[in-house]
């Protein structure tokens, strides 16, 4: 099977049962995406598929042979971090670090959803959401952090969102 | 380099047993200016880019995949493990059972012996009894589901309430289960105001994000196990004992741990199963527990039933204080949830009774989870104090002020430091407590009832023997090596800060190597002792290096200043790299001594919470929360704050949502996944605020720091419960306070 | 997960004739397959079929492709403007990641979250007919209070279908023989009875291709969900309401309920208690009486009865303001 992950082509012989997450972790050496529950209940496995954030544990690798997949490794490296990655470091938006790649991939996807004008459960008005703390918290609630860096995660995302809003303006 | 130094006799050791107070600390000089600062985590860039490597992520040649098989019943004897169908599946290598060697349950933290072994007789639903090994994870998972465990059922004890009257008193551990002073019954009878209430808390699960995982690989009769463990040195001993090999034959590597919270203190079933399978198959085996197995077969915090008795005089001064706890555990396991531990010293009262008993149940093991004792004990004690404040008719902060002990009321020794009242006062100021109207149910806004609550935090401070080696290289770098772990606590960063500050090096000149059982044994991460213990060992090693540097420079150590990689003394400045020559190495070791008996050592804090309760549904939302803490020297203000955020959030979970449910018919964990065991999500948590008081504890250790990882949970849930009472006038004494428990008492719609 | 044959379908016709279980988002099916609660021998991947658009019909209604993800449906301006209850219900469900993957058709078929259904060591008539119901006599906090049977007390866990039930959605399907049918959502689901493993009227090979929403009505919309966490939790109780008040009288009401039954619940008696009446607590109580007529708790879910009453009354107050 053929996959495009972080802009690179990969060939892998995998079982039809292999999840997109296990493809990356067990076959391609991309262990940045984490397995916390394997059932879509924690968000540690979050990746971007064709730009959308999804739980990679709940989808089959075989179904993604034509897709553009981005994992945490594709966002930045320790030497050249993505703005959200460096904001997470600055704001201590993690502790043990296990949910962190999923949080950051989720945040990338989430900010894109906001840009598209998508509302959330926290939006009083479904037609025009402003990204206040309650909005960030609600939109990031699919990513559990047991260490509970939530307030710092919100601060990190807010900083990047605000900076990006300034650039757009 | 270490070896060369050893051969040349240049290796040195420096040990300190805390028999005396230790007022001097190089960290106070502040020359390098990195200690205490809110610095970013040194391993941060690796974590945020997915490059930090957790247990199951090491590339290994010829790796095979193991999936564990559970006993699908609560109590009985296995008669057969039928595995023909599983073995016949493509890719399956073997199905392995080893009744005597498999462990019944995980080991408790710090034990040196093997946990209870033997799984032919099954004592709880979900006990791990076999392992399937296959070429792929997918094949092993399928095959594990095809294994049929046949058994003869036996009668089991599955209902706490049904067996509570047969509770036994566990033998004394580090913590005595029983302590009495004076006559509590008389104090209660004579009290102007009294509280006699029972509070209950359910079983809980640490639910660290990384499920327990091991990669076991044997080489020349020795095992290397990449595991997710908090206390490498004792875990190695436990694993060696369980496998019946010498302790020098087991090396655990645990460089990054995806959360522990107590659940990874002792070895868990996956490590032994992986090691046995790897040996039999002569192939490395990787086992990552499924999330459901983490719930079924690792460790829970015990449920508790706690009777609190408070006897007070007309002014609210306590004359009697009782805290009697029933907890549960498996037959043969002596660990008890020490819910009364904080009550030993939280408040003054002449007549005291603290007691713990165990109810034996066929539920999975109970053991340590973040702040064993205080986490649930303070849910009871601090709610009772709130109840008493209302009875006496005084502010809950004032009630605590009136019951502030001058010395430790249990052991009659001084406190090393105690800033409970300053924490409460500072918190009251920051939170705006003085605006509060005491009357409950007085603030309704639409469908929401608002209220605020306060609770105290106390957490015992402990020191454990811990060693670390620090090598100063000829390039002027410091390399810290210890088997200490960083489970998200910030160990990598604070050890680097301690070394940088003590040696006068920029932070980037320090490398910290953790989690390798081949390195000097440390205290490990548990009981909030990690920073104080392992930090002191690094400090001592660096202190030894300072002496070596002074000697190399030919000056007195007191006359020498170290800063930015240079040693300055007597109007000379020399590069530390030059003084280090071919390298210098010192191993530092800290050990507890008389100071822990001569003083009551603890950290303190105060929680303030504002909640709103929906008057229609009983749903509770936390609007605001503030914690003020004093815990000795704060080594890194950023990571310390994060530890407190985490603890406080655990407290919110305990107060509102977390409950591990056991089926009354077989004891099995009913809600065995993260969809139904409700740890807080982002939307449950407001922008919590944390403040620290300045403090040094010279009785604790030479770096004057105390534990902070568990302090944040102590009392946090009680502040929520007290706020719920203030909002609604409804006192729920059965945690968690889910909507169904409030519903019946809320006003009619 | 048992192994299976995998085939990707390139047309609806091919999919219906492929003779396997359909997989699109997979968020519930794979979850259950990993536990071997579901063990299909063949999966037919329909995720690339051209069923992912939302079209306006001439009658003013919307036709939603079965593969439209929950996120896209919730954010669609036409849905927000005319069917707010549906947007609200979708946004109250699951997480951003799951909504990005879960599809309209798949979400209608989401299976129960009953703990005993999920645990293959437990007796469950829905998972394994004849093996008993361990939820009865066990822990049943999340279970049903309406329309239960002595074989099964599971709930339908969804949010979107509750809103669709209030909106009188029609489920459009295509069978293997090419026949298409339009099934009103009220006829789509089954109560557990003696066959809790059969949850809807779909036949083997029959594929949901679309969901039709009737032309919008003028009423006010509300979706209220009560749950244990502020987010990312299933409903203990939910209500979807579209209510019209004219000149102080309720002239139209459509109400559906989640978390209380084996299917998104709707009872005409509830609406009959409201229509033609002035909004008042008396009226709302009568509606709650109608909803909870015959409601039965099973121990740990007893609280759902007062919870449903209180939440319905508060919701009606809000939606008739």
Q: Is C50 exposed, middle or buried (0-12, 13-18, 19+ CB in 10 A)?
A: exposed
- Domain B366-462+598-743 is in which class? alpha beta
| Residue A15 at interface with chain C, using a CB cutoff of 8 Å | yes
User: Could you report the per-residue pLDDT of B715-733, keeping only the tens digit for each?
Assistant: 999 999 999 999 999 999 9
Residue with tokens 């007597």: B570
For residue C27, what is the nearest residue in chain A, using CA coordinates? Answer: A58
Tell me the CA distances in angstroms from B72 to A163, B212, C34, one per residue in order. 54, 20, 17
- Residue B173, pLDDT score: 77
Q: What number does CATH give the domain B62-155+209-259+264-298?
A: 3.30.365.10
Cα–Cα distances in Å, from C57 out to A129, B119, B670? Answer: 28, 64, 47
SS3 B376: helix
Question: Do B366-462+598-743 and B2-53+464-592 have the same topology in CATH?
Answer: yes
With a CB-CB cutoff of 8 Å, which residues 134-193 of chain C face chain A?
none
Where does the pLDDT of residue B2 fall: very low under 50, low under 70, confident under 90, or very high at 90 and above?
Answer: very low
* Cβ B470 vs Cβ B541: under 8 Å: yes
**Checking DSSP bridges between strand C170-174 and strand C62-65, what pairing results, if any?**
unpaired
Are residue A102 and residue A161 in the same domain, yes or no? yes
Kindly state the average pLDDT of the residues B697-723.
98
> Tokens 């690179």 correspond to what residue?
A8
Residue A3 forms contact with B (CB below 8 Å): no
Q: Is residue B420 pLDDT above 70, yes or no? A: yes
Rounded to whole angstroms, the Cα distance separating C15 from C17 reads 5
Do the Cβ atoms of B369 and B263 come closer than 8 Å?
yes
Chain-centre distance of CA C190, in angstroms? 12
Cα(B486)–Cα(B254) distance, integer angstroms: 9
The residue-averaged pLDDT of B204-223 equals 98
Residue B686 sits at the vertex; the CA angle it makes with B685 and B689, to the nearest 5 degrees, is 115
CA distance B515 to B160: 39
Q: Which residues of chain B make contact with A144, given a CB cutoff of 8 A?
A: 209, 674, 679, 681
| 3 state SS of B54 | strand
Interface of C with B (CB under 8 A): 1-3, 34-36, 113, 115-116, 118-121, 134, 137-139, 141-142, 226-234, 236, 303, 306-307, 309-311, 313-314
pLDDT in tens, B91-106: 999 999 999 999 999 9
Tell whether A102 and A154 lie within a shared domain: yes
pTM of the predicted protein model: 0.98
Q: What is the mean pLDDT of each run of 10 residues along chain C (321 residues)?
A: 98 97 98 98 98 98 98 98 98 98 98 98 98 98 98 98 98 97 98 98 97 96 98 98 98 98 98 98 98 98 98 98 92
Would residue B373 be called left, alpha or beta, if left means φ above 0 and alpha means ψ between -120 and 50 degrees?
A: left
Query: Rounded to the nearest 5°, which phi and psi values hold at B310?
Result: -125, 125
What's the token pair of residue C101?
A: 């993957």
Q: Which residues contact B259 (CB under 8 A, 6 or more apart)?
A: A95, A96, A98, A146, A147, B206, B208, B209, B210, B487, B488
Whether B328 contacts B363, CB under 8 Å: yes
Asked: is B2-53+464-592 a CATH 3.50.30.50 domain? The reply is no
- Rounded-to-integer distance, Cα C154 and Cα A138, Å: 28
Q: Which residue of B88, B449, B615, B617 to mutate against C (max C Cβ within 10 Å)?
A: B617
Residue B30: predicted pLDDT = 83
Q: Pseudo-torsion of CA B392, B393, B397, B399, nearest 10°?
A: -20
Domain identity same for A24 and A63: yes
Is some CB atom of chain C closer than 8 A to the CB atom of B671?
yes
CB C275 within 8 A of CB C243: no
Q: Looking at the structure, tell me whether residues A97 and A160 fall in a common domain.
A: yes
Helix (H) or strand (E) holding B29: none
Tell whether A102 and A143 lie within a shared domain: yes
B117 neighbors B165 (Cβ within 8 angstroms): no
Catalytic-labelled residue, pool B324, B374, B658, B710 = B710
pLDDT over 50 (residue B5): no
For residues A109-137, b (16+ Cβ closer than 10 Å) or e, as one string?
bbbebbeeebbbbbbeebeebebebbbbb
Mutate to test the interface with A, among C28, C95, C99 (most CBs of A within 10 A): C95
User: What is the average pLDDT value for chain B, to the nearest integer?
Assistant: 97
User: Which B residues, 661 through 690, put their C-beta within 8 Å of a C-beta on chain A?
Assistant: 673-675, 679-683, 685-688
> What percent of chain B has pLDDT above 90?
98
Q: How many CB contacts within 8 angstroms connect chain A with chain B?
A: 193
What does the pLDDT average to over B271-299? 98
Mean pLDDT of B183-207: 98
Q: What is the predicted pLDDT for the residue at B11?
A: 61
Tell which residue, B150, B137, B129, B138, has the closest CA to residue B68: B129
| Minimal Cβ distance to C314: which of B616, B739, B740 | B616
Query: What is chain A's mean pLDDT, rounded?
Result: 96
B524 in Cβ contact with B537 (< 8 Å):
no
| Mean pLDDT (whole number) for B699-707 | 97
Contact yes or no for B455/B722 (Cβ under 8 A): yes
- Asked if B135 is an active-site residue, the reply is no
**Interface touch B683/A85, C-beta < 8 Å:** no
Domain boundary among A49, A75, A101: A75
From A31, A57, A75, the end of a domain falls on A75
CA B65 to chain centre: 30
- pLDDT at residue B1 tops 70: no
Angle (nearest 5°) at CA B43 between A164 and B111: 135
Judge if A161 and A138 occupy the same domain.
yes
Q: Which residues in chain C have Cβ-Cβ distances shorter than 8 Å to B73?
A: 121
Inter-chain touch C71–A121, beta carbons under 8 Å: no
B673 to chain C, any CB pair closer than 8 A? The answer is yes
The CATH number for A48's domain is 3.10.20.30
Based on the structure, what is the number of domains in chain A? 2
Spatial neighbors of B458 by CB under 8 A, at least 6 apart, are: B342, B345, B346, B374, B378, B420, B602, B603, B604, B605, B714, B715
Tell whether the model's pLDDT for residue B175 goes beyond 90. Answer: no
Structural domain boundaries enclosing A31:
2-75
Output DSSP code: residue B568. Answer: E
User: Which among A43, A62, A126 is the nearest to C87, CB-wise?
Assistant: A126
Q: Do B48 and A104 touch (CB under 8 A)?
A: yes
Q: Are A18 and B138 in contact (CB under 8 A)?
A: yes
**Backbone phi, then psi, for B177, in 5-degree steps?**
-75, -20
> In sequence order, what E strands does B256-349 have?
285-288, 300-301, 304-312, 318-329
Helix ranges, chain C (H): 12-17, 29-34, 70-75, 77-82, 84-91, 96-101, 104-108, 115-118, 160-166, 185-188, 268-272, 281-292, 304-319
Say whether both A93 and A157 belong to one domain: yes
- Cβ-based contacts of C118 with chain B (< 8 Å): 673
pLDDT at C105: 98
**What residue ranges do the domains of chain B occupy?**
2-53+464-592, 62-155+209-259+264-298, 366-462+598-743
The parts of chain A modelled with pLDDT lower than 50 are none
Per-residue pLDDT tens digits for B311-367: 999 999 999 999 999 999 999 999 999 999 999 999 999 999 999 999 999 999 999
What's the CATH code of the domain at A120?
1.10.150.120
Count the neighbouring beta carbons within 10 Å of the beta carbon of residue B110. 21
How many Å lie between the alpha carbon of A93 and the closest alpha carbon of chain B? Answer: 9
Domain's final residue, options A59, A75, A91: A75
Please report the residues numbered 65 through 124 in chain A whose beta carbons come closer than 8 angstroms to any beta carbon of chain C: 106, 109-110, 113, 116-121, 123
- Residues whose CB is less than 8 angstroms from the CB of residue A168 and which lie 6 or more positions away in sequence, other chains included: none
The sign of the CA dihedral B515, B518, B520, B525 is: positive
What local confidence, expressed as pLDDT, does residue B649 receive?
98
Burial A36-61 (b: 16+ CB within 10 A, else e): bbbbbbbbbbbbbbeebbbbbbbbbb
Q: For residue B135, is pLDDT > 80?
A: yes
Residues 487-506 of B with CB under 8 A from A: 487-490
Whether B612 has its CB under 8 Å from any CB of chain C: the answer is: no
- List CB contacts (< 8 A) between A134 and chain B: 683
CB of B42 within 8 Å of a chain A CB? The answer is no
> Tokens 């005993």, residue?
C116
Q: Is the pLDDT of residue B10 over 80?
A: no
Candidate from C1, C229, C234 with C-beta closest to B142: C1
């Amino acid at each position: 099977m053929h996959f495009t992950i972080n802009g690179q082509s990969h060939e892998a012989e995998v079982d039809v049962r292999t999840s997109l997450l296990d493809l990356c972790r067990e076959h391609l050496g991309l262990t940045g995406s984490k397995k916390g529950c394997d059932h879509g209940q924690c968000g540690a496995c979050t990746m971007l598929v064709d730009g959308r954030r999804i739980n990679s544990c709940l989808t089959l690798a075989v179904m993604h042979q034509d897709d553009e997949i981005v994992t945490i490794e594709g966002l930045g490296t320790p030497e050249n971090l993505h703005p959200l990655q460096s904001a997470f470091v600055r704001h201590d938006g993690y502790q043990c670090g296990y949910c962190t790649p999923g949080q950051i991939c989720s945040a990338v996807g989430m900010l894109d959803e906001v840009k598209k004008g998508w509302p959330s459960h926290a939006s009083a008005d479904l037609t025009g959401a402003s990204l206040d703390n309650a909005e960030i918290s609600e939109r990031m609630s699919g990513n559990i952090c047991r260490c509970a860096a939530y307030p710092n995660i919100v601060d990190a995302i807010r900083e990047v969102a605000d900076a990006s809003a300034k650039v757009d303006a | 380099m270490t070896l060369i130094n050893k051969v040349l006799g240049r290796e040195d050791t420096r040990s300190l047993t805390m028999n005396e107070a230790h007022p001097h600390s190089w960290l106070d000089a502040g020359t390098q200016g990195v200690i205490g600062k809110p610095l970013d985590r040194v391993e941060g860039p690796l974590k945020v880019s997915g490059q930090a490597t957790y247990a199951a992520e090491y590339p290994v040649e010829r790796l095979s995949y193991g999936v564990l098989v559970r006993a699908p019943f609560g109590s009985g004897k296995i008669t057969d493990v039928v595995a023909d169908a599983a073995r016949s599946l493509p890719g399956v290598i073997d199905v392995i059972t080893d009744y005597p060697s498999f462990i019944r349950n995980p080991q408790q933290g710090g034990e040196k012996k093997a946990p209870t072994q033997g799984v032919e007789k099954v004592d709880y639903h979900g006990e791990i009894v076999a392992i399937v090994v296959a070429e792929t994870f997918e094949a092993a998972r399928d095959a594990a589901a095809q294994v049929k465990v046949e058994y003869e059922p036996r009668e089991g004890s599955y209902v706490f309430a049904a067996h509570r009257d047969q509770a036994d008193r566990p033998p004394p551990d580090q913590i005595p289960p029983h302590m009495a002073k004076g006559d509590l019954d008389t104090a209660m009878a004579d009290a102007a105001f009294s509280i006699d209430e029972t509070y209950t808390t359910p079983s809980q699960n640490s639910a660290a994000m990384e499920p327990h995982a091991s990669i076991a690989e044997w080489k020349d009769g020795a095992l290397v196990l990449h595991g997710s463990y908090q206390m490498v040195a004792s875990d190695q001993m436990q694993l060696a004992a369980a496998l019946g090999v010498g302790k020098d034959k087991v090396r655990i590597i645990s460089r990054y741990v995806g959360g522990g919270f107590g659940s990874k203190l002792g070895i868990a079933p996956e490590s032994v199963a992986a090691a046995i399978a790897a040996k039999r198959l002569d192939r490395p085996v990787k086992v990552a527990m499924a999330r459901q197995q983490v719930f079924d077969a690792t460790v829970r915090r015990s449920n508790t039933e706690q009777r609190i008795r408070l006897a007070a005089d007309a002014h609210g001064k306590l004359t009697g204080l009782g805290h009697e706890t029933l907890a549960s555990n498996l037959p043969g396991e002596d660990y008890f949830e020490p819910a009364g531990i904080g009550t030993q010293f939280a408040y003054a009262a002449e007549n005291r009774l603290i007691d713990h008993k165990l109810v034996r149940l066929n539920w999975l093991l109970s053991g340590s989870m973040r702040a064993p004792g205080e986490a649930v004990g303070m849910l009871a004690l601090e709610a009772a104090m709130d109840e008493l404040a209302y009875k006496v008719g005084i502010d809950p902060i004032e009630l605590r002020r009136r019951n502030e002990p001058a010395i430790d009321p249990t052991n009659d020794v001084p406190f090393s430091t105690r800033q409970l009242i300053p924490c409460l006062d500072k918190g009251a100021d920051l939170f705006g407590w003085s605006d509060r109207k005491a009357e409950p149910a007085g603030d309704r806004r639409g469908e929401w009832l608002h209220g605020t609550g306060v609770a105290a935090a106390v957490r015992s401070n402990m020191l454990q023997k811990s060693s670390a080696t620090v090598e100063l290289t000829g390039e002027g770098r410091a390399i810290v090596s210890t088997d200490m772990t960083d489970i998200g606590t910030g160990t990598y960063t604070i050890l680097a800060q301690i070394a940088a500050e003590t040696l006068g090096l920029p932070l980037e000149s320090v490398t910290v190597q953790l989690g390798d059982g081949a390195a000097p044994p440390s205290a490990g991460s548990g009981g909030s002792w990690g920073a104080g213990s392992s930090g002191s060992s690094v400090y001592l090693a660096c202190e030894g290096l300072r002496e070596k540097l002074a000697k190399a420079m030919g000056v007195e150590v007191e006359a020498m200043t170290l800063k930015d990689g240079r040693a300055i003394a007597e109007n000379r400045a020399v590069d530390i790299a030059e003084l280090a020559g071919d390298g210098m190495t010192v191993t530092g070791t800290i050990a507890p001594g008389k100071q822990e008996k001569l003083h009551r050592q603890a950290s303190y804090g105060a929680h303030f919470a504002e909640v709103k309760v929906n008057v229609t549904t009983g749903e509770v939302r936390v609007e605001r929360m503030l914690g003020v803490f004093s815990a000795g020297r704060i080594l890194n203000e950023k990571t310390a704050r994060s530890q407190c955020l985490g603890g406080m959030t655990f407290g919110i979970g305990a107060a509102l949502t977390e409950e591990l449910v056991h089926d009354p018919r077989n004891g099995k964990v009913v809600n065995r996944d993260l969809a139904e065991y409700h740890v807080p999500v982002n939307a449950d948590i407001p922008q919590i605020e944390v403040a620290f008081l300045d403090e040094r504890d010279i009785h604790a250790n030479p770096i004057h720091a105390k534990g902070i990882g568990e302090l944040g949970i102590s009392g946090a849930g009680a502040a929520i419960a007290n706020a719920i009472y203030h909002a609604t006038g409804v006192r729920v004494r059965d945690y968690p306070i889910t909507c169904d428990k409030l519903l019946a008492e809320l006003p009619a719609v | 997960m048992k192994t299976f044959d995998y085939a990707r379908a390139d047309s609806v016709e091919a999919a219906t004739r492929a003779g396997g279980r359909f997989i699109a988002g997979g968020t519930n099916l794979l979850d259950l397959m990993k536990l071997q609660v579901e063990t299909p021998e063949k999966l037919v991947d329909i995720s690339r079929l051209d069923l992912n658009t939302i079209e306006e019909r001439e009658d003013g209604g919307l036709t939603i492709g079965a593969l439209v993800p929950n996120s896209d449906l919730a954010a669609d301006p036409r849905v927000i403007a005319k069917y707010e209850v549906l947007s609200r219900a979708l946004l109250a469900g699951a997480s951003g990641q799951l909504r990005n993957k879960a599809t309209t058709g798949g979400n209608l078929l989401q299976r129960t979250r009953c703990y005993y259904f999920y645990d293959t060591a437990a007796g469950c008539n829905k998972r394994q007919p004849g093996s008993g119901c361990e939820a009865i006599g066990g822990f049943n906090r999340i279970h049903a209070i309406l329309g239960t049977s002595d074989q099964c007390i599971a709930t339908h866990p969804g949010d979107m279908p509750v809103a669709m039930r209030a909106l009188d959605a029609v489920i459009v399907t295509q069978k293997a023989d090419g026949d298409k049918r339009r099934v009103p959502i009220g006829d789509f689901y089954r109560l557990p009875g003696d066959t809790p493993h059969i949850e809807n009227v779909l036949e083997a090979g029959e594929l949901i291709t679309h969901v039709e929403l009737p032309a919008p009505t003028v009423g006010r919309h509300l979706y209220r969900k009560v749950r244990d966490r502020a987010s990312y939790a299933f409903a203990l109780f939910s209500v979807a309401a579209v209510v019209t008040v004219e000149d102080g009288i309720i002239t139209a009401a459509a109400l559906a309920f989640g978390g209380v039954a084996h299917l998104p619940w709707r009872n005409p008696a509830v609406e009959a208690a409201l229509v033609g009446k002035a909004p008042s607590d008396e009226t709302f109580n009568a509606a709650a009486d109608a909803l909870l007529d015959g409601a039965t708790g099973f121990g740990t879910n007893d609280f759902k009865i007062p919870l449903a009453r209180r939440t319905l009354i508060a919701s009606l107050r809000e939606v008739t303001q």
